[in-house]
Chains A and B, each alone.
Chain A
Amino acid sequence: MEDVLSEVCSSEDLKVFEKKYNDELVKGLVSSTTQFEYACFLVRSRYPADIQRGVVLLEELYKRPEEIGKRDYVFYLAIGNARLKEYQTALNYLKGLLRVEPGNRQVQELETGAAIAGGAILGVGALIGLGMALAKK
């Protein structure tokens, strides 16, 4: 429960917003609010398939014209991608946000978190590579 990349929402919460989304979908029009809420909970799920779905819904919202909360979509896209271990994509989103809001501490902290997590993975990859190279000799 310590940070945005590791905390998870409850499955009950997720179900509530899934139902709200599906109810509107059946009626034929999903409001931005409903889609955003559902996506925020999906991105905080413990299951990668949910997170992936959250990312798709956020990308779709971002493409809608005349949306006011684009920065919020971008930030949650960064969270979702980082949680899917797509660190480079996450960092690209955060760089974009920082271009508009250079002093945003919340964005800076997520950038640091994603960079460290991404770097750690790279580090492991490098070690395995080294291990393989040594093993081949």
Chain B
Amino acid sequence: MADCPHTIGVEFGTRIIEVAGQKIKLQIWDTAGQERFRAVTRSYYRGAAGALMVYDITRRSTYNHLSSWLTDARNLTNPNTVIFLIGNKADLDAQRDVTYEEAKQFAEENGLMFVEASAKTGENVEEAFLETAKKIYQNIQDGSLDLNAAESGVQHKPTQPGRTNLNSDSQPNRDNCSC
């Protein structure tokens, strides 16, 4: 893998996926993980329909910091924001420093979805975004996410039937690093 420079502030991306036969445009904000950007990246949480919180399974310190990222994510988003915990670098199993079971338990205790993935091999990357979108869609269907609330992070586009916009804030990093 080539050298991957630190994200500066936030990087924007979009992706169109399909959930239950509906086209959904995901607006993805990949926020910088470096401490110096914390104040800037915080301002992107508001209005996120989902958040992907990524740690590195080979570096325990990234796992230990999760609760502080989670506090931010909870405090700054609405109660229905879907939070997905992702253990990245699953390809480096030999260097693993955090067990699957431990992280799974942390996720359950905090009501987070959880998967281990690898941005390098692509394992579970697409799935994580798709599962997040499905969960958000489900919240809309069962009425727990109010589309009229300004901060829902979801926009229905009546001019284009079947097109829904979801904002998904991913931090500390987007797990589909193309580097």
Contacts and interface: CB of A to CB of B under 8 A. Distances in A.
A joins B in a complex: yes
Contacts of B10: 4
Interface in A103-127: 103-106, 109
Interface residues of A, number: 25
Given A101-B5, A103-B2, A37 B12 contact: no
A21 to B, nearest CB: 12
B9 A75 contact: yes
A66 interface: no
B7 interface: yes
A41 B39 CA distance: 10
Size band of the interface chain B makes with A: 20 to 34
A13 B5 contact: no
Contact of A40 (B2, B27, B40, B167): B40
B8 A72 contact: yes
B77 to A, nearest CB: 15
B11 interface: yes
Interface of A: 1-4, 7, 9-10, 13, 17, 33, 36-37, 40-41, 69, 71-72, 75-76, 101, 103-106, 109
Interface of B: 2-3, 5, 7-12, 14, 27, 36-37, 39-40, 43, 46-47, 167, 178-179
